[in-house]
Structure 1
């Protein structure tokens, strides 16, 4: 198994685990609060932390799967080489953005490590709970590098965006095919 496939599997497993734990935590906290008038002291901070992890892992996964929504009307109209050139510029700009966040995350986590500040309600240090910034933006940068390599090698011509309009029309046509063309 290649390292990238292993990373893909690990990322998907972590996303699934985060979703399950976050859902259960919010459910239990809601039942406790409205059913019994009690709360879990750390539930809000825990759910916010889990949501942060979920978002950053999900953003990386979205780049890999092409599930981000994009406005690509202009780039689709360009011929192949021009489209790829624009895509290279866009990916490099995204890498620069991710690089800034990686650097900022490193500086922030280093300060949290040095200060040794704990989370307010969770029994863990702030740097550990917030380390997803470094991990998440590292994964995003890795996905962008893979995309850039694929564009340069001619395996891709840009970001693979979700096309909701086409998907909606395909779904509509598939569900209404039995009606014999009636709408």
Structure 2
């Protein structure tokens, strides 16, 4: 069984600016992912209030559907760059799992470059959707919420993903040039035990991993 983990430990032979940019970008991705998590929690609480309001007082929350529709953009897009960073996305590894060394890194680089191109097109298109909503004052059907904030979230979140993909493309290109280098800032294929260890480090910090080793 193979699972995705990520490599982000400083490499003595790596570029200092590359590692610093990776760390700075990770902080922004964490903040976006936290916003996505809070939006899900807020919607769950709002749904509970909606159900209880209808059952007990027969008073539904005005614009519940409108609010839900607009909030969906946050939890659907805000966490995508974080997911890409930690290798949390789902993909087929029938071929990649059999490769190693420079051949693996070349395939990873080609895949990331293709995704970067597609995401770039999505950023371009989603920005125009936002621009139209801003220009024409688009609003929801029920309580007339402005739609431009939720439409702005999409190109902003995808731009963050675009930066992460560019960083990973550089990381893979670095490994293509030197397959013996330590992977930095790129997802790598791990078995279940290694993936679990990285998840513990991500959730609780390096102290937990250090204590586990002791």
Once the two structures are superposed, residues 88-113 of structure 1 have per-residue CA deviations (whole angstroms, 9 ceiling, x without a partner) of 11111111111111111111111112
1:4 alignment partner, one of 25, 32, 38 = 25
Please give the alpha-carbon distance, in whole angstroms, between the structure 1 residues aligned to 2:189 and 2:43: 27
Please give the alpha-carbon distance, in whole angstroms, between the structure 2 residues aligned to 1:25 and 1:103: 33
Q: CA deviation at 1:38?
A: 2.5
Q: 1:42·1:121 contact (CA, 8 Å) conserved in 2? A: yes
Please give the alpha-carbon distance, in whole angstroms, between the structure 2 residues aligned to 1:162 and 1:104: 35
Once the two structures are superposed, residues 99-138 of structure 1 have per-residue CA deviations (whole angstroms, 9 ceiling, x without a partner) of 1111111111111121122233455422122211111211
Please give the alpha-carbon distance, in whole angstroms, between the structure 2 residues aligned to 1:104 and 1:83: 32
Please give the alpha-carbon distance, in whole angstroms, between the structure 1 residues aligned to 2:143 and 2:74: 15
If the length of structure 2 is used for normalisation, what is the TM-score?
A: 0.67
User: For 1:34-45, what aligned pairs fall within 5 Å after superposition?
Assistant: 34-45=55-66
Q: Which has the higher contact order (CA 8 A, sep 6+)?
A: 2
Q: Relative to 1, partners in 2 of residues 1:24 and 1:92: Cα closer, same or farther, differing over 3 Å?
A: same
2:87 alignment partner, one of 66, 69, 83 = 66
Q: Which 5+ residue runs of structure 1 have no aligned equivalent?
A: 171-183
Q: 1:59·1:140 contact (CA, 8 Å) conserved in 2? A: yes
Q: 1:109·1:127 contact (CA, 8 Å) conserved in 2? A: yes
For residue 208 of structure 2, what is the aligned residue in structure 1?
Answer: none
User: For 1:31-180, what aligned pairs fall within 5 Å after superposition?
Assistant: 31-122=52-143, 124-154=145-175, 155=183, 159-160=187-188, 166=192
Q: Relative to 1, partners in 2 of residues 1:10 and 1:126: Cα closer, same or farther, differing over 3 Å?
A: same
Once the two structures are superposed, residues 11-43 of structure 1 have per-residue CA deviations (whole angstroms, 9 ceiling, x without a partner) of 233123212212211221122223333311211
Q: CA deviation at 1:79?
A: 3.0
Matched residues, number: 166
Q: 2:63·2:142 contact (CA, 8 Å) conserved in 1? A: yes
Once the two structures are superposed, residues 123-171 of structure 1 have per-residue CA deviations (whole angstroms, 9 ceiling, x without a partner) of 54221222111112112212212221221222269744687xx47xx8x
Q: 2:167·2:185 contact (CA, 8 Å) conserved in 1? A: no
Q: 2:168·2:185 contact (CA, 8 Å) conserved in 1? A: no
Q: Which 5+ residue runs of structure 2 have no aligned equivalent?
A: 1-19, 176-182, 197-214
Quote the RMSD (CA, aligned, Å).
Answer: 2.6
Q: 1:70·1:162 contact (CA, 8 Å) conserved in 2? A: no
Point out the structure with the larger strand share.
2
